[in-house]
Amino acid sequence: MDDRALDPSLTLLLDALERTPDNAPLRVHVANLLVGAGRHADAIKHFRQCEGDAQVGTDAQLGIARAALALGDAEASLAAAEKLLASVPSHAKGLLARARALHARGQHKEALADYDKAVSLDAQLAEPALRDALIRDATDPRARFRVVSGGTNAAQDAGAAAAIPENSVPDRVTFADVGGLDEVKEKIRMRIVYPFSNPDMFKAFGKKIGGGILFYGPPGCGKTFLAKATAGECRAHFINVGLHEVLDMWIGNSEKQLHQLFEDARRRAPSVLFFDEVDALGMQRAKLHSGSMRGVITQFLAELDGFASRNERVLVIGATNTPWDLDSAFRRPGRFDQVLFVPPPDRAARRQILELKTTGKPLASVDFDAVAANTEGWSGADLEHLIDASAELALTQSIARGTIEPITGAHIDKARAKVRPTTREWFSTARNYAQYANEAGQYDDIADYIRRHNF
């Protein structure tokens, strides 16, 4: 059985769906997760039940188009996309879905037209690799019936699961995929990877194992990515719980569900249980309006405490952009007692990230040192956008000229105008906490960073 099908949050949501079978948005959400877990046929059954829904009917049709294609059923995929486009003719994602279905049927020119229209409506949908394939196949009469897998962006977006081939297993992410952050990686190796891999040795020296780790820092600088890579380094299962997404649907019996999640993590040990946006759970009590959240927090803390004493091969990692929203109870020993600041990439790291993100793309000799020097304050995600936008420009030129035009420094300069660095804004908020709310020294890393960069 496909490993990913065991995702505990999916199990929980399926339970929730049984209790509220008429919740069409939930059903579509679950179906999208099923697609992500490779369970396309099951997903289609759920989508079919929601096709007529006023609110999410189009999402369901889109889901069918994608899941059917993943099953190799281009006809069903096309039919679903057609139905969607009949009701919403300029539905960008619908057009993209039809492009894929047409591509799989060997109608490459029509597919290309749909793809271009989709991207003109929503530039975010651009997938240079897909467009390359469409152009190549449109001009290659031998090309027939290709099934195209989604780009990484589409695959990451749980709500928009792409046509992932049934048996593809996502590659393990490791520290080698993370640019820079050498100090953070070293701390993770010492405090997490080694103890996790050699528990007996650490016990022999009287070192405590366990306790959760909290990553915090500006958005887009690799917290989520690093958590995934940490799991990869530990060769552990990675269980990613997006709290904002899940909590809403748990109302009623969240405590039980939360317990279930920890139990699942134990069953799948060695595993990394990752709570992204953990601030959703740990809002300072003063900011909490609803009493019902309090029970969830208590339960969560009790689960963490349980781990601290039992020494299981489950690692709990949390990540947040807003550590100041976390209740200090979360930082007690045995809970998230290791707190790591994940800073924006420095110059050398930016260079490395630029290289990582251009690997495998046609590239002229670009002076990445210069680009790195001119992108102070840019996050890894910002740099990734810069490369995507540059690739898009090179591709457009390639098509116009009918040859492969590699990405050049000129493309990057031009693309720069479209990307805004995002970390400064975060620091303008963080500075206040570092200056005025740092009694326990918990924001020393931020203060230090601000001092060294003289903002």
Ligand X SMILES: Nc1ncnc2c1ncn2[C@@H]1O[C@H](COP(=O)(O)OP(=O)(O)O)[C@@H](O)[C@H]1O
Q: How far is the CB of 352 from ligand X (least distance, A)?
A: 7
Q: List the structure tokens of 289.
A: 């309006």
CA distance linking residue 171 with residue 337, whole number of Å: 30
From 51-59, 221-229, 436-444, 446-454, span contacting ligand X (CB under 6 A): 221-229
Decide: is 38 part of the binding site for ligand X (CB under 6 A).
no
Which of ligand X, Mg ion, none does 36 bind, CB closer than 5 to 8 A by kind? none
CB atoms within 10 A of CB 82: 15
What is the number of alpha carbons within 13 Å of residue 56 lying toward its C-beta? Answer: 20
User: Which residues share a beta bridge with 319?
Assistant: 215
CA distance linking residue 178 with residue 180, whole number of Å: 7
From 74-82, 116-124, 172-180, 395-403, span contacting ligand X (CB under 6 A): 172-180
Give the per-residue contact string, 190-229, with Mg ion (x = CB under 5 A; - = no). Answer: ---------------------------------xx-----
Burial class (CB in 10 A: 0-12, 13-18, 19+), 347: middle
Give the per-residue contact string, 338-367, with ligand X (x = CB under 6 A; - = no). Answer: -------x-------x--x-----------
> Which of 17, 34, 381, 446: binder of ligand X (CB under 6 A)?
381
Q: How far is the CB of 120 from ligand X (least distance, A)?
A: 25
From 10-18, 37-45, 95-103, 219-227, span contacting ligand X (CB under 6 A): 219-227
Q: List the structure tokens of 311.
A: 């020494």
Which of ligand X, Mg ion, none does 94 bind, CB closer than 5 to 8 A by kind? none
Decide: is 230 part of the binding site for Mg ion (CB under 5 A).
no
Which of ligand X, Mg ion, none does 371 bind, CB closer than 5 to 8 A by kind? none
Q: Which residues contact 346 (CB under 8 A, 6 or more apart)?
A: 180
Which of Mg ion, ligand X, none does 181 bind, CB closer than 5 to 8 A by kind? ligand X
- Note the Cα 28 to chain centre separation in Å: 19
| Helix 380-401 × helix 347-358 angle, to 10° | 40
Q: Which CB sits closer to Mg ion, 224 or 442? A: 224
Decide: is 384 part of the binding site for ligand X (CB under 6 A).
yes
For ligand X (CB under 6 A), the number of binding residues is 18
User: Which residues share a beta bridge with 336?
Assistant: 212
Q: Which CB sits closer to ligand X, 224 or 375? A: 224
Edge to edge, the sheet with strand 271-276 lists 237-242, 271-276, 314-320, 212-216, 336-341
Pairing mode, if any, of strands 314-320 and 271-276?
A: parallel
Q: How far is the CB of 224 from Mg ion (least distance, A)?
A: 3
Do the Cβ atoms of 44 and 306 come closer than 8 Å? no
The runs of H, that is alpha helices, within 139-253 are 152-156, 182-188, 194-197, 199-204, 223-233, 243-250
From 67-75, 117-125, 327-335, 378-386, span contacting ligand X (CB under 6 A): 378-386
Q: Which residue type, as a one-letter code, is found at position 253?
A: N
Residue list 259-318, contact with ligand X (CB under 6 A): none
Decide: is 423 part of the binding site for Mg ion (CB under 5 A).
no
Instruction: Give Dmax over CA atoms of the chain in angstroms.
Output: 70
Q: How far is the CB of 217 from Mg ion (least distance, A)?
A: 10
For Mg ion (CB under 5 A), the number of binding residues is 2
Do the Cβ atoms of 311 and 209 come closer than 8 Å? yes
Burial class (CB in 10 A: 0-12, 13-18, 19+), 110: middle
Q: Which CB sits closer to Mg ion, 224 or 408? A: 224
Decide: is 320 part of the binding site for Mg ion (CB under 5 A).
no
149 φ, ψ (degrees, to nearest 5): -85, 155
Q: Count of residues for the chain?
A: 455
Q: Which CB sits closer to Mg ion, 162 or 342? A: 342
Q: Which CB sits closer to ligand X, 292 or 428? A: 428
Q: Which CB sits closer to ligand X, 332 or 424? A: 424
Q: Which helix (H) or strand (E) holds 216?
A: strand 212-216
> Which of 380, 427, 445, 449: binder of ligand X (CB under 6 A)?
380
Q: Which CB sits closer to Mg ion, 69 or 221? A: 221
Decide: is 222 part of the binding site for ligand X (CB under 6 A).
yes
Q: Which CB sits closer to ligand X, 47 or 368? A: 368
Decide: is 323 part of the binding site for ligand X (CB under 6 A).
no
> Which of 94, 180, 232, 421: binder of ligand X (CB under 6 A)?
180
Do the Cβ atoms of 419 and 385 come closer than 8 Å? yes
Q: How far is the CB of 426 from ligand X (least distance, A)?
A: 10
List contacts with Mg ion (CB under 5 A). 223-224
List contacts with ligand X (CB under 6 A). 178-181, 219-225, 319, 345, 353, 356, 380-381, 384
